[in-house]
Amino acid sequence: MANTLTPSALDGKRLVVIGGTGGIGLSAVKAFVAAGACVIAVGLERDETTSVARDLGKAVRFMHADATQPETAPKSIEECISSCGGLDGLYHVAGGSGRRWGDGPLHQISNDGWRLTLELNLTSVFYSNRAAVRHFLAQKSTGTILNLTSVLAFAPSVHHFATHSYAAAKSAIIGLTKSCASLYAPDGVRFNALAPGLVQSSMAQRAANDPRIMAFVKTKQPLDGGRIGQPSDLDDAAIFFMSDASRFTTGQVLAVDGGWSVTEGQLPA
């Protein structure tokens, strides 16, 4: 799906996307470049990035690095300054399921499941947001920080999506985003968040391959015929928050969820 906002909405913007080498993040990188931005995309995936880099040319540079390491975000910002001439915004997408470590319902969560899920989904956000706001304050410049949370932070679904470490991390991202928005508003640094529903990605394969879950999702996300979301469904919202169109907006959480947060969903008989 093409960007439906002004084609030049991000002209001249210098952006970092943490988690920008796959899924929602890579879709955003492509959309940002199409809207005129210079982008540093950071992540662990390699398969798609070679062809994307060839197609997009000098407007994007990929860094293969781990968002849970504290040095990754500062290095990506340094690269943005070097390659793009500065930093105007950071979009944090990196995160994922902790089921493989033992996340699940509270009474079943392992110690590693709790620790590693929060490290991936919350500590990584702390590292990237801290690095970006330190840069903006040091440069005495305005900027925008956009975080990816989840509808599971405020609209739980107990039958198929009970991963409480993940929900806790995504809820904490909202708290971090709003409290930072309040503190740094006088400095002209904006913090906002996107909260997707179920979106097609490597993380969503468990659900996408289960006919029972997909029958539920059809009624839980009823917009557009009832379907799983696509990464591109979030692109226009991300462009809005990274652009000057949102210059008077901070501390907001926008659900891009196909109706998830306002519908019950019907469990198959």
User: What is the pLDDT at residue 4?
Assistant: 55
Give pLDDT, residue 51: 75
Give the C-alpha distances (Å, rounded to integers) separating 136 from 87, 133, 139, 178: 8, 5, 5, 18
pLDDT of residue 254: 98
Nearest to 249 by CA among 177, 169, 154, 150: 177
> What does pLDDT average to over the chain?
95
Can you name the residues that pair with 61 across neighbouring β-strands?
40
Distance CA 34, CA 10 (A): 9
Spans of all domains in the chain? 14-202+230-256
- Average pLDDT for residues 82-103, to the nearest whole number? 97
pLDDT category at 26 given cuts 50, 70, 90 is very high
Confidence check: pLDDT of 2 > 60: no
| Band of residue 49 on the pLDDT scale cut at 50, 70, 90 | confident
Look at 4-13, 209-218, 219-228 and tell me which has the smallest mean pLDDT.
4-13
In order of 49, 62, 77, 258, 263, the CA distances from 223 in angstroms are: 31, 34, 37, 5, 11
pLDDT at res. 1:
45
Q: Is residue 213 scored above 60 in pLDDT? A: yes
Confidence tier at 157 by pLDDT (50, 70, 90): very high
Q: What percent of the chain has pLDDT over 90?
A: 88
Q: Please tell me which residue, 265 or 203, carries the higher pLDDT value.
A: 265
Query: Which CATH class, in words, describes the domain spanning 14-202+230-256?
Result: alpha beta
What tokens appear for 146 in the block? Answer: 């956009």
Do the Cβ atoms of 105 and 50 come closer than 8 Å? no
pTM over 0.85: yes
